[in-house]
Amino acid sequence: MPKKQTYPFWLGGVAGSMAASCTHPLDLTKVRMQTVPSLPGANRPSTYSVIRTTVADHGVRSLYTGLTASLLRQMTYSLVRLGSYEGMKDRLSKDGSPSSGKLLVAAMLAGGMGGVAGNPADVLLVRMTSDSIRPPEKRYNYSNALTGLVTLVRSEGVKGLFRGVGTNIVRAVLMNGSQVWSYDLFKSTLLRNRIPIVDFQFKDNLALHMVASTVAGTVATTVCSPADVLRSRLMSASGKTNPLEVLKKSLREEGPRFLFKGWTPAFIRLGPNTIFMFVFLEQLKKGWRTVFPAE
């Protein structure tokens, strides 16, 4: 019986970092849309207006503000959530093909673990990408992720690294459940079934990976939007606060629509990010199989 192919735990973190390098400007735009408070009677900022203002005020390079925090986030959050999910899936597959329900539970559990691991980098990412829209006296002025970590611990203690960790875990559970699990589900479904109208059968190639990841990105954006908005607002805050206070205040001042604030840039960012991440991951796996084939 041939030996089952295994992959290194860190492969998902590398794929996530490669994807984040491509989509970081959209992540920055999403955070700024989520954290800018709505003024009474004022129009909500659009994706285009936020990008235009950012470039006009600070130049094109400013769209990559906080990239170091984004890479640190991928090498903690994505590394743990994707690596843990692959490990759990391998264990569940020892007795045959696992059910979709078991894979969903595994994906959500792995997402929660990733949310804890990546929370410090998430705090830095939110603060660094939203810093320029703050009043000068309230800016954090982190030059990069590593100095930001040191400054954060010095000013707020170790507890500061886990600001908003509750909402971040909820978001990570929802994200992994809706993104990683749905990608596996759509990929396996498309492989098993022919498309009836055009009588087309997918093969395990780039086209399949792109279609499955596009649908997964759409599902993940919608499911995660409320937790994502709350997470961004909690992490960008400098004073003592809690999720319930933020939720009540935002609902009172902006109405329930605020829970989907930044959905468009989130989708524009998460759709391509999901595609890049899974395409890169599949190619990295293919390269690993070529260099280190299973015996």
Range of the domain at 175: 11-291
Q: What is the mean pLDDT of the chain?
A: 87
The reply to whether 5 falls in a domain is: no
Q: Which of 29-38, 178-187, 275-284 has the lowest mean pLDDT?
A: 29-38
Is 2 a member of any domain?
no
Number of domains in the chain: 1
**Residue 2 in this model has a pLDDT that exceeds 60:** no
pTM of the model: 0.82
| Domain assignment present for 6 | no
* Burial of residue 208, with CB atoms counted within 10 A of its CB: 0-12 exposed, 13-18 middle, 19 or more buried: middle
Segment 275-284 shows an average pLDDT of 95
Report pLDDT digits (tens) over 120-167. 999 999 899 888 878 888 889 999 999 999 999 999 999 999 988 988
CATH number at residue 227: 1.50.40.10
Q: Calculate mean pLDDT across residues 40-48.
A: 67
Indicate if the alpha-carbon torsion angle 201, 222, 123, 60 is positive or negative: positive
CA 250, 254, 255, 259 torsion-angle sign:
negative
Domain assignment present for residue 266? The answer is: yes
Residue 204 lies in a domain: yes
Largest Cα–Cα separation, the chain = 69
Q: Is residue 275 in a domain?
A: yes
Backbone angles phi, psi at 41, to 5 degrees: 80, -10
Tokens 């805050």 belong to 237
In a domain, 182, yes or no: yes
Asked if residue 1 is part of any domain, the answer here is no
